Structures are given as C-alpha cells and as structure tokens.
C-alpha cells in the first residue's frame, strides 16, 4: 500500500506545477544524483530568430531564404518555424515534392525541381561546404541546392530566464548537471558555460543521447539515479531510458509528455529542484 504521506507529497508537487505519474517517481527523486538536460526548448526558450543570412555570390538573400523556408514549411522543428516566419515573400511560388526530415540533421526536398538540403554539417556531409566561421551567438544552418553549397543562415535562441536559478539550485543540492545537445560545439558550450553546467556533450543524434544516459547509469551505484529533462519528439527514447524522465508540458511535444514520468506544466526548469525538496520532505515524513 502507498503511505498517505505520498498523497500529500503528490498534492504539494501539483500545487508547485508538476504532475507526477506515480508516488514511486517522487521517491526515486531522492536518489537522483545527476540531472541531464536537453538544450533547445528545455534550458533555452526554443524560439529562434534569424540573425544573419549569407548567400554565396550570385544568389540573393531572398532567394536563399525563400528556398530554405520552402523546405522548412513541412517541419515542426523550432528552427524551421523561425526560418518560415522570417521570409516575407510568397511561399506559394515554390512547389515542394519528396520532402524528408532526418532528426538531428535537418530537412531535404525538391523545390521547383531543384534538390534543396537544409541542416547542419551532418546533413551536408556529401557536399563540399565553404564552411562559415561557426558563430557562438547562434546555430549555423547550411543550405545546398542541386549539390552545391549555397549559403548559411544563423538562428539564435536565448536561455530561459529561469534556467540559471535551476542550475544554481541543483548544484546547491550537490547534484551533477549535464547538457546533451544536437547543436554544434560553439553554441552548446556557450550556453552550458553561461549557465554553469558541470558537463556538456554536443553534436549528438537522438540515439547518442540514449547512449550518454546509459554511460552515466553504468557508472552509478544501485541507489544512484539519473533524471533527464526534455521537450521534443526526439527526446521520448531518452526520457524512457532515464530513471526519472521529466518533460516540459506547455510547449513540449505530446510524445515527450507521454514518455515522461513527471511533467513541468509551466516549462520552468527551476521546478526540478523544488520538486526534489518536496520529495525529501515526503521521505522524512514516511520514514
């Protein structure tokens, strides 16, 4: 049977804006020694703005942005939304066929009969890219048209105002904080260093994030647990692999909410430390 104090604990967490799918997860929070975060939409706002458009010579900014926005129309990725929103022209002039999205890479489609690839270095692996300086202020999105590198677009995202408090509070509780991201090294380390996380691993595919969680678990004792906090469709397998999976409920994907054990209703990362506090108080009452 479930001790009554757990009901009180679950009540307290729901007042704190966190839904927990069972008292066992509240109890498990007491054993968490490492909190692993996704970056985009979890520690950062997940709403990008286009800050720079750099076409190769012979191409206009509008052409580059137009072809890119045309391909990104079919993607729900926050980077895709920002690029579509920043294009002022008429997207109906582009005919899109054979649209394919590869998570952690980017998107590809035929636009008016031209093959367009949009994404990171992995997405353009087969194309000779005149690589722009990686910009730590934003994520560099590369574009290839008919097998030719055609330019780059920088999109920037800011940490949530609440993320700094979250990391400070978790460190105060003596927890290890880690960031896993599919974003590049320049952007990933800039955000992680700014917030003061203990560790950051960049350029990860969704499957790599699962392996990183397994690596942490392999180094833990039976009583140590790892929590993962994420928001995206890609994050579902990682949320399942972690001992405690925590999803953002407001702007997070349905897949993440479904896969998670705990849901932060207002997307504030600082709710993690306050929920751990409630878990500790609940254990004190039960024991």
Burial class of residue 161 (count of CB atoms within 10 Å of its CB; 0-12, 13-18, 19+):
exposed
Burial class of residue 221 (count of CB atoms within 10 Å of its CB; 0-12, 13-18, 19+):
exposed
Is 40 among the residues that bind Mg ion (CB under 5 A)? yes
* CA 143/CA 54 separation, integer angstroms: 10
Active-site residue, 222 included: no
Strands (E), the chain: 18-20, 32-38, 49-55, 96-102, 106-111, 114-119, 139-145, 148-156, 176-180, 199-201, 225-230, 244-248, 262-264
Is 188 among the residues that bind Mg ion (CB under 5 A)? no
Is 46 among the residues that bind Mg ion (CB under 5 A)? no
The span of 69-77, 87-95, 160-168, 225-233 binding Mg ion (CB under 5 A) equals 225-233
Taking CB under 5 A as the criterion, the residue among 78, 232, 245, 269 binding Mg ion is: 232
Whose Cβ is closer to Mg ion: residue 38's or residue 261's? 38
Tell me how far, at minimum, the Cβ of 105 lies from ligand ADP, in Å: 6
* CA 70/CA 93 separation, integer angstroms: 9
Question: Given the rule CB under 6 A, which residues bind ligand ADP?
Answer: 38-40, 72, 75, 77, 79-80, 104-107, 118-120, 139, 141, 181-183, 232, 234
Whose Cβ is closer to Mg ion: residue 66's or residue 232's? 232
Q: Which residue is nearest to ligand ADP (CB)?
A: 182
The span of 32-40, 125-133, 138-146, 164-172 binding Mg ion (CB under 5 A) equals 32-40
């Amino acid at each position: 049977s479930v001790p009554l104090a757990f009901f009180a604990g679950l009540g307290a967490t729901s007042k704190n804006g966190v839904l927990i799918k069972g008292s066992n997860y509240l109890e498990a929070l007491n054993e968490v020694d490492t909190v692993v975060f996704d970056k985009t939409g979890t520690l950062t706002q997940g709403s990008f703005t286009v800050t720079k458009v750099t076409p190769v010579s012979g191409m206009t900014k509008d052409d580059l942005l137009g072809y890119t926005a045309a391909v990104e129309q079919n993607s729900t990725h926050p980077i895709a939304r920002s690029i579509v929103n920043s294009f002022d022209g008429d997207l109906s002039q582009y005919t899109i066929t054979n649209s394919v999205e590869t998570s952690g890479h980017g998107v590809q489609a035929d636009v008016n009969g031209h093959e367009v690839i949009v994404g990171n270095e992995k997405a353009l692996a087969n194309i000779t890219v005149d690589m722009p300086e990686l910009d730590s202020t934003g994520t560099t999105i590369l574009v290839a048209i008919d097998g030719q590198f055609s330019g780059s677009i920088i999109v920037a995202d800011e940490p949530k105002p609440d993320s700094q408090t979250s990391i400070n509070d978790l460190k105060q509780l003596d927890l290890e904080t880690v960031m896993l991201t599919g974003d590049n090294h320049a952007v990933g380390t800039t955000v992680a260093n700014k917030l003061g996380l203990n560790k950051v691993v960049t350029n990860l595919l969704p499957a790599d994030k699962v392996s990183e969680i397994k690596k942490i678990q392999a180094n833990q004792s039976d009583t140590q647990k790892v929590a993962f906090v994420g928001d995206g469709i890609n994050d579902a397998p990682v949320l399942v692999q972690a001992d405690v999976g925590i999803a953002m409920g407001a702007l997070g994907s349905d897949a993440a909410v479904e896969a998670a054990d705990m849901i932060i209703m207002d997307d504030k990362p600082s709710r993690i430390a306050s929920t751990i506090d409630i878990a500790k108080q609940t254990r004190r009452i039960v024991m």
